[in-house]
Amino acid sequence: MVEYNNIKLNRKSNQYLYIQLYNELKSMILNGVLTPHTKLPPIRRLANLLKINNATVVNAYKLLEQEDLVYKKVGSGTFVKNINNKDIRYIETHSEERYLDEKNRNIINSNQIQINKNTINFASATPTPDLFPVTEFKSVLNEVLDRDRGNAFGYQESQGYLPLRKAIKKYLINSNIITTIDSIQIISGAQQGIDILSKALIDYGDIVFTENPTYAGAISSFKSRGARIIGIPIEKDGIDIKALENKLKSFKPKFIYVMPNFQNPTGYSYSVEKKNKLLELAYKHDLFIIEDDYLSDLSFFSSNNQTLKSLDTENKVIYIKSFSKIFMPGLRLAFMVTPISIYNKVIAAKHMSDISTSGLIQRAFDLYLRKGIWKKHINYMENIYKKRFEIMSDSIKKYIPKEVKYDLPKGGLNFWFSLPDKYSSWDLYNFSLKNNIIFMPGSIFYVNKEDDHHFRISIASIYSSQIENSIKYFSEVINSFLKKTNNEIEKGDSYRPIL
């Protein structure tokens, strides 16, 4: 029997009662207290029980329906949906390319996006499989199986395998992050970290700040929790501090989500001044910063790749470290360093998500770190990516048409371009696709998809030997596109406003 009278609503809170009720019912659904197909109480009964208006219940039920957590049966009432199916769909749509919007899904549906072996893939920011250290990983896996036998297959504690947390604590000292093993949370990929933090920290209607453009997976997670996202422009030396200060005068965000080193998608890094200024503002406004460090290891031509976490003296930075771009994305392994003040919420959200990250993988990675194989692997990856990066930078300077503007980054995997205002990167995408080239149109990285003339290319999935020719060919394709589109604009038969 579900105890609805345990629902606590705070009439003194400045959050609307219907949002509080919605949040309570939502956690009951996500925690499994309300099981699939359970009927929610009739509106009047719940309103009487909680001593609130009928409209408050109606609005809370409406929100649950909008979030796809309940369904209505005409004449019978409101019922809890089976959310397991939803989780499966979410996992399937994890990879970055899947955040492409409706327009691209149509392209995929109409079979135009055949990524065959001749397609030049500038879109994907995932390492090529030949870079994965399969032999070394096989040997640590075998060692774990011989050592731990069945223990490697039991449930692992939600916070993470203790020896691995100890190894990570030690590893972090190299990047000047001094922390405790209690502050380290193992997660199944940085995307899960973002999602867990969203679950733990965001209530429906809360405000969240991000850089704009930003990582599309973060936008999706925050939106899925009902957050209102305010995007702060990013400049080539970091976030626009003036714009941030102005927004902080009008809004009290739950947190700001940033990538201070080799930002995705722009590749830009914050200057030391902007890193310090951002921390200063966080301290002044009592604001959490979520730092997504997915790439600081790949700093080829800059020594300014300190993480915010290493500069944070007041424990306001929640640090997320992914191993996907420098190790093996399919392991689904990453970690967070979180302030102890949010420990309880984080651990509850992690447990709700997947109970724990695979114990077997954690044990294997622990050995991998301790044996120092990790360091060798990072050096190896750095060398490969650095070579690709240099060839890419030289080729861009040599071939990319002058109408297309860019600021070359000093490391990382991504390069960001802007077309002249009247051209659409979606149109260029469609045109390039027909010529066997794919890249990421910029609009997916904008909070409201508001910009249509930027695009991102990545070196992760393209070999050094292919880069120069591919950029030369891409530049020819861009030139034809500019010419063709210009003719169409002059004829007036293609140009349409971007809404």
Ligand X SMILES: Cc1ncc(COP(=O)(O)O)c(C=O)c1O
Binding site for ligand X (CB under 6 A): 96, 125, 189-191, 215, 217, 259, 264, 292, 294, 322, 324, 329, 334
CB of 13 to ligand X, least distance (A): 32
Report the nearest approach of ligand X to the CB of residue 2 (Å). Answer: 35
Tokens 């719940």 correspond to 46
Contact (Cβ atoms closer than 8 angstroms) between residue 266 and residue 234: yes
CB of 334 to ligand X, least distance (A): 5
* Count of Cβ atoms closer than 10 Å to residue 108 Cβ: 13
Q: Could you give the CA distance from residue 180 to residue 202 in angstroms, rounded to a whole number?
A: 25
Rounded least distance, CB 95 to ligand X, Å = 8
CB of 264 to ligand X, least distance (A): 4
Give me the DSSP letters along 133-186. Answer: -HHHHHHHHHHHHHHHGGGGGSPPPTT--HHHHHHHHHHHHTTT----GGGEEE
Task: CB nearer to ligand X: give 79 or 171.
Answer: 171
Q: Which residues pair with 406 in a beta bridge?
A: 417
Of 20 and 191, which CB lies nearer to ligand X in the complex structure? Answer: 191
Closer residue to ligand X in complex, CB, 9/115? 115
Q: Which is nearer to ligand X, 172 or 482 (CB)?
A: 172
User: What does each C-alpha distance from 339 to 168, 193, 260, 319 come to in angstroms?
Assistant: 16, 14, 19, 9
Q: Using the minimum distance from each CB to ligand X, give the nearer residue, 160 or 217.
A: 217
Closer to ligand X at the Cβ: 19 or 337? 337
Q: Identify the H or E element spanning 249.
A: helix 241-250
Cα Rg of the chain (Å, integer)? 24
Q: How far is the CB of 486 from ligand X (least distance, A)?
A: 34
What is the helix (H) or strand (E) element at residue 89, kind and residue range? helix 84-92
Q: Report the C-alpha gap between 263 and 234 in whole angstroms.
A: 9
Name the minimum Å distance from CB 171 to ligand X: 16
Q: Looking at residue 295, what DSSP letter applies?
A: S
Of the pair 43, 234, the CB lying nearest ligand X is at 234
Nearer to ligand X, 34 or 219 (CB): 219
Residue 210 to residue 188: CA distance in whole angstroms: 22
Q: What per-residue string of b and e applies to 41-57 under the rule 16 or more CB within 10 Å gives b? A: bebeebbeebebeeebb
Nearer to ligand X, 362 or 424 (CB): 362
Q: How far is the CB of 259 from ligand X (least distance, A)?
A: 6
The Cα–Cα gap between 197 and 480 comes to 45
The DSSP 8-state label assigned to residue 254 in this structure reads: S
Closest distance of CB 330 from ligand X, Å: 9
CB of 377 to ligand X, least distance (A): 16
Whether residue 334 contacts residue 187, with contact meaning beta carbons closer than 8 Å, is answered with yes
- Six-digit token string for 179: 């922390």
Taking CB atoms, the residue at the shortest distance from ligand X is 189
φ, ψ of residue 77 to 5 degrees: the values are 130, -160
CA angle 211, 214, 216 (to 5 degrees): 145
Please say which residue, 293 or 427, places its beta carbon nearer to ligand X: 293
